[in-house]
A and B are shown apart, each in its own frame.
Chain A
Amino acid sequence: SYVLTQPPSVSVAPGKTARITCGGNNIGSKSVHWYQQKPGQAPVLVIYFNSDRPSGIPERFSGSNSGNTATLTISRVEAGDEADYYCQVWDTSSHYWVFGGGTKLTVL
């Protein structure tokens, strides 16, 4: 089955840029979605279809996808961005929604 690989943790200082990667075999051919989950809360969709933002998500959140890596970029990081972030794709061959293992973003 298709596997998505994320770094377990990423740390960034306030005001800087955080980049969270999601690796997968030829992931550039798939649509990648990103979710933010804060402790005790349900996940929230922050990026869909590789780089689109749902309404209400700040422009500081952006996404890209090419080759074997998709990236979630958070610009001008704020303390409130501290959360777990998950990438997700639909694997058409197995009819499976696949999540990455998640990345804990720490704001220093």
Chain B
Amino acid sequence: EVQLVESGGGLVQPGGSLRLSCAASGFTFSVYSMNWVRQAPGKGLEWVSYISGTGSTMYYADSVRGRFTISRDNAKNSLYLQMDSLRTEDTAVYYCARLGEGFGMDVWGQGTTVTVSS
């Protein structure tokens, strides 16, 4: 079964750091580009970051560029999001999502909740 499982969310103070992980299974992870997408409480979806299958290309939303770093370990079938200098507006459910062959995000994890609050 194709599956993505996120972990690492939690409560953190403004200015703090958190590292999210996404464990992939059921497909050849290294072939696929991956994304992080977030959803603030009661709000819509917001794309956060993209990484190519080899890890050589990364893109970021303006709202997180310079604070968040996306990475992957293909040997461990894992995707990561290092989040530094967190702000209250970063509070959201964070999803990892696979970029399918048609360039839609065809597999999503269940999400992990990040709460930034003092």
Mask for A31-71, Cβ within 8 A of B = 1, else 0?
10101010000111101110010100000000000000000
Q: Hey, which chain A residues are within 8 Å of B102, CB to CB?
A: 31, 33, 48-49, 52
Q: Hey, which chain B residues are within 8 Å of A52, CB to CB?
A: 102
Interface size band for A: 20 to 34
- Smallest distance from the beta carbon of B52 to chain A beta carbons, Å? 12
Q: Is the CB of B47 within 8 A of A97?
A: yes
Is A102 among interface residues, defined by CB-CB distance under 8 A?
yes
Set B35, B104, B110, B111: member contacting A48, Cβ < 8 A: B104
- Smallest distance from the beta carbon of B22 to chain A beta carbons, Å? 12
Interface size band for B: 20 to 34
Complex CA distance for A12 and B91, rounded to whole angstroms? 33
Is B109 among interface residues, defined by CB-CB distance under 8 A?
yes
Q: Is the CB of B100 within 8 A of A43?
A: no
Q: Is the CB of B44 within 8 A of A45?
A: no
Q: Hey, which chain A residues are within 8 Å of B110, CB to CB?
A: 42
Complex CA distance for A49 and B101, rounded to whole angstroms? 10
Main secondary structure of the interface of A (DSSP, over half): strand
Closest A residue to B48 by beta carbon equals A97
Q: Hey, which chain A residues are within 8 Å of B105, CB to CB?
A: 33, 35, 43, 45, 88
Is B29 among interface residues, defined by CB-CB distance under 8 A?
no
Complex CA distance for A90 and B103, rounded to whole angstroms? 9
Mask for B79-118, Cβ within 8 A of A = 1, else 0?
0000000000000000101001011111011110000000
A: residues with CB less than 8 A from B are 1, 31, 33, 35, 37, 42-45, 47-49, 52, 54, 84, 86, 88, 90, 95-102
B: residues with CB less than 8 A from A are 35, 37, 44-47, 50, 59, 61-62, 95, 97, 100, 102-106, 108-111
